[in-house]
Structure 1
Amino acid sequence: MSKPKPTIIAQISDLHIKAPGELAYGKVDTAKALERCVAELNALDPRPDLVVISGDLVDTPTPGEYEHLWRLLAPLKIPFIGVPGNHDARDMMRAAFPDWAYAKSSGPLDQARTVGPLDIILLDSHVPEKPHGTLAASTLDWLDATLASSRERPALLFLHHPPFRTGIEHMDVQDLFNADDLATIVRKHPRIQIVAAGHVHRATLTTFAGTVATICPAPNHAVDLDIAELRPPSFRVEPPAFHLHVWFPDGEEGGHLVMHQVPIGDFDGPHPFFGADGKLL
């Protein structure tokens, strides 16, 4: 009897695509970083069932940046959806991706997608021209109703702004301002397996409202890990990565979710642990 196939959701975040030839902060080639990320995603075996982009798809924003983003994502051989971050613009994003199944024809770009046994829910925390995030009342009502549609199907929640503190103060002051409102709904619906955010450009793990909560690293640059507040707000060019959220079916018990961090780049290996004689090398 063959093993049940896992359902794999890739999460990439904070692409910050600029106009062709422009560098983020005068230093980071975010377009080249996304090209490497797309190649890494395409090379995965098995390939993910869906890629979720958790905000800051572009940097300024301008229609030209979204056009450049489209060209960079064109080689991706996996379906993808995204949610705005503070560097995005709703109207431009809706125009750039008109085929995404938004919950409403105007306002927040909330989305829900069924992928095998999973419900993938994207929450728009964008506040126009502000760095922090807020979930609108309409988003919270839609989320509660969407989650109430089933008690058993596992759900994965994605948004840009983390609903928890990281200890990086200049980022914490611009996270999700109404995290308590989200927490009330998360506690009400235990089928939520994870709350996955972006914004901070660092791999981060904690708990939130009784479930797992993470931040996805970026394919380009990382926010400086300066918990002691020794430096002005800064970034570092660290090893890029993304997250894979893998749902393994467990028969009658449902299943369990595992999150893997995948580095982007060429690394030595894989090398066998055992020789031809079966002995550990």
Structure 2
Amino acid sequence: MKKIAVIGSGTMGNGIAHVFAQHGYKVSMIDINQNALEKALATISKNLDRQVSKGLLSETDKANTLANIETFTSTEDGVKNVDLVVEAATENVNIKLDIFRELDKLCPEHTILASNTSSISITKIGAVTSRADKVIGMHFMNPVPVMKLIEVIRGYATSDEVTKQIMDLSRKLEKVPVEVNDYPGFVANRILMPMINEAIYTLYESVAGVEEIDTVMKLGMAHPMGPLQLADFIGLDVCLSILKVLHEGFGNPKYAPCPLLVNMVEAGFKGSKTGEGFYKYTAGSKEVVVSSQFKK
């Protein structure tokens, strides 16, 4: 594989483009919004500067990485002659299915189509294409340049050959791939999201406050970040979407989203990306304080 296309230039999309470009791959970063693409390039440059300051990369490495990235607002232009597409659009099943229908029509016959979905069925995505054997999940972790894990998800029809190619490719990115089968939430979010949901229920039922819940999990369970702050970091809307997939996929009430989470998302409190969730985030400040709605 030499040429990669990434669909979406948000947090995950620009991180995925960054990592591929840093490892010498030619990357087409595709987004319908030109401003979003420019913002993504600025983010990648800033993150590369951080790596340079830590001695992980040289200025030449940074320049080469940026030179490997080309941006497109046209999917048709961006996927010409690519060997792999990694879709990193919003976690919405209908949006993803539409994207894969389009990719199937536009991409060369040999192109592997991967999704960075954190919960949506790879089998379902593959079924809307004529190449289900070449459809696979590549679930990168956030922040992509730092986190080592990639969940590699096999759909029902994904071939052994394609799975091996993606496992090998992940190692070339200096990541650790873990192969999992296609069930709701896969491994990471099947375990993580119920924990986050239970933490929200613990707050909802007034067992303890935001800081108290996060402190117990950080100091008592050695988690680097408490579950409520982690939910803010992931995005409360994303957490809600994943819980809905788990609830629908398994039909088990234990996955039902906490009413507090539902209300917060509907009210626009989606976490760090909107400036407020369980905590309040101020641009340019490292100080994070409990949201006023949860202060005693």
State the TM-score, normalizing by the size of structure 2. 0.29
Q: Answer 1 or 2: higher relative contact order, Cα 8 Å, separation at least 6.
A: 1
Structure with bigger helix share is: 2
Structure-1-length-normalised TM-score: 0.30
